[in-house]
Amino acid sequence: MVEQALPLDGVCVVEIGHSLAAPYAGLIFAHLGARVVKIENAIGGDYARGWGPPFIDGASALFHAINHGKQSIRADFSDPKCIGHIRDFIVDHADVVIQNLKPGSLERHGLGAQALTEMCPSLVYCNMGAFGASGPLRDKPGYDPLVQAYSGMMSIVGHDSDAPSRVPVSLNDMGTGMWAVIGVLAALRGAKDAGPKQRVVDVSLYETALAWMTVPLSDCLAGGEQPSRMGSGSPNIVPYQVFGCADNAVLVAAGNDTLYRRLCRTMGLDELADDPRFLTNGARVSNRKVLISVLESRFKEFPAAYWLERLEAASIPCGPLQSVDLVVNNEQTAALDILRKTPDGRTTTVALPISFGGQRPALPGNTPDLGEHDHLLASIDSPSVLEKS
């Protein structure tokens, strides 16, 4: 099969970032065909290189997963010559700059949005912060767990009796990376008619968290009850959660009245199907404890496989509660061809969850190795220098 050009072929993105938010945005750009040049800390590079174990060839598996397909250099921001090289390269070659350094850091070196967009009017510049571009916390640094706590997200994760816990993936970091890509693509799309302000994109972890919290926040603003911890359940839909069976567990998502009644009859609980306490979703939410207790008792009478076979035959959305190793070896995962080795063979990671015309883009390039800024930026157009194996 002949590989077709990707949507962002010919676009050059400079990533001045570390950890996860900016690097994840850079990864998406790389998967979409852009050339991504990653500027790393002079001492040791991106902090995420050390976020392990596991480690692969001296860098964490996390770093390999988020940074393959990029070119990279080691940059000393205390060196005016290095700053000059970076500025010249951006002005001469870059279409996009994405950065998640501490607010004000790049402005001090003449690499902020205003300076660079004035020098290069076509440049799209994306600032990625912790708490947003305005407000009393605009200069406050932050990581994903801090924002999970501050946004109220941590207050609704887990069960009532649990100690506070975080969603164990960095969804605000990665979500901010996604919003950055969306904002940059929108700015690129409108670049011909956009003024300078429309070419500067601001996103943050806190705003991303508030976006994920759209439903709980909207419920609260509408005068609903204080959102609380419901484990795997939903505050707005019942039954919509994990149920323990005689051995393992299953997730059941009876998201409307028809599915609820079908669930009852499939489980041999016909009397619940027409019980006035549970006729509508609103009634089921109000009488959640009573209904869930009955369903839990019934599910525990048989193994998970027994229930999955019957629920699937009745077209009731359901599935097993899988561990990560089972997901890796799952036949649906394999059919999607989404877990792939990087071209250098160092690691297996997740491909872009998008297909074009039924074809998923190949993983781009190798994981970047650190190089020195002087000769690399001076000869940065030579991929053989930057893309070391």
Alpha-helix residue ranges (DSSP H) falling in the chain = 21-31, 61-67, 80-93, 113-119, 144-150, 171-189, 205-212, 214-221, 257-266, 270-273, 281-286, 288-299, 304-313, 324-328, 331-336, 373-378, 383-386
Here the tokens at position 218 are: 């909207």
- Of 349, 367, 365, the C-alpha closest to 57 is 367
Q: Decide if 173 is catalytic.
A: yes
Give whole-number Cα distances, 79 to 16, 46, 75, 85, 106, in Å.
Answer: 16, 18, 8, 10, 13
Alpha-carbon torsion 135, 139, 145, 146, what sign? Answer: negative
Residue 113: burial class (beta carbons within 10 Å; 0-12, 13-18, 19+)? buried
**CB of 201 within 8 A of CB of 183?**
yes
Cβ 342 vs Cβ 367: under 8 Å? yes
Distances (CA, A) of 22 to 109, 153, 176, 384: 19, 22, 8, 25
End-to-end CA distance of the chain, in Å? 26
Task: Give the Cα-Cα-Cα angle 264, 269, 273 (nearest 5 degrees).
Answer: 50
Q: What is the pLDDT along the chain (389 residues), one digit of tens a residue?
A: 445 789 999 999 999 999 999 999 999 999 999 999 999 988 888 999 999 999 998 899 999 999 999 999 888 888 898 899 999 999 999 999 999 998 889 999 999 999 999 999 999 999 999 999 999 999 998 899 999 999 999 999 999 888 999 999 999 999 999 999 999 999 998 766 666 667 899 999 999 999 999 999 999 999 988 888 999 999 999 999 999 999 999 999 999 999 999 999 999 999 999 999 999 999 999 999 999 999 999 999 999 999 999 999 999 999 999 999 999 999 999 999 999 998 888 889 999 899 888 888 888 877 777 654 444 444 443 332 223 22
* Number of C-beta neighbours around residue 24 at 10 A: 24
Residues 6+ apart with CB under 8 A from 317: 252, 253, 254, 255, 259
Please pick, among 76, 173, 193, 381, the residue that the annotation labels catalytic. Answer: 173
343 vs 340: CA distance, rounded Å: 9
CA distance 272 to 263: 10
pLDDT of residue 346: 82
